[in-house]
């Protein structure tokens, strides 16, 4: 082969070898990354919307009712004896039967 010549089909073979990699990235995005971002957004919105009176469940499985909110700290009442616990806002797993705003 003379010097300075490029073998034919080199660019096409290079592109063809990257197509499966690109398809794999697209599949990961639509089946893993995008749904996780959606769940994170819903969780963030739920934590921002917490208000006094909401019944919640913590990530540790504690059920309680929010009695006060101060920045990122919540005070909740649990049990029939109204025991008060102080927890971090991020420790809330879900809001159960949120009171409707009138």
Summarised one tens digit per residue, pLDDT across range 2-26 is 565 555 567 788 888 889 999 999 9
Question: Is pLDDT of 102 > 50?
Answer: no
Query: Do residues 63 and 56 touch, judged by C-beta distance below 8 A?
Result: yes
| More confident of the two residues 13 and 85 | 85
Q: How confident is the model over 44-61, as a mean pLDDT?
A: 95
Mapped onto helix, strand or coil, the DSSP state of residue 100 is coil
- As a residue count, the chain comes to 102
SS3 74: strand
Statement: residue 63 has pLDDT above 90: yes
């Amino acid at each position: 082969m003379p010097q300075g010549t490029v073998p034919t089909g080199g660019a096409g073979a290079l592109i063809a070898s990257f197509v499966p990699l690109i398809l794999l990235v697209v599949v990961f995005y639509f089946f893993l990354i995008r749904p996780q971002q959606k769940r994170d957004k819903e969780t963030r919105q739920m934590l921002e919307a917490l208000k006094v009176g909401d019944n919640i469940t913590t990530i540790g499985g504690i059920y309680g009712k929010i009695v006060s909110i101060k920045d990122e700290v919540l005070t909740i009442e649990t049990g029939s004896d109204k025991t008060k616990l102080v927890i971090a806002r991020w420790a809330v797993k879900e809001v159960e039967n949120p009171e409707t705003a009138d």
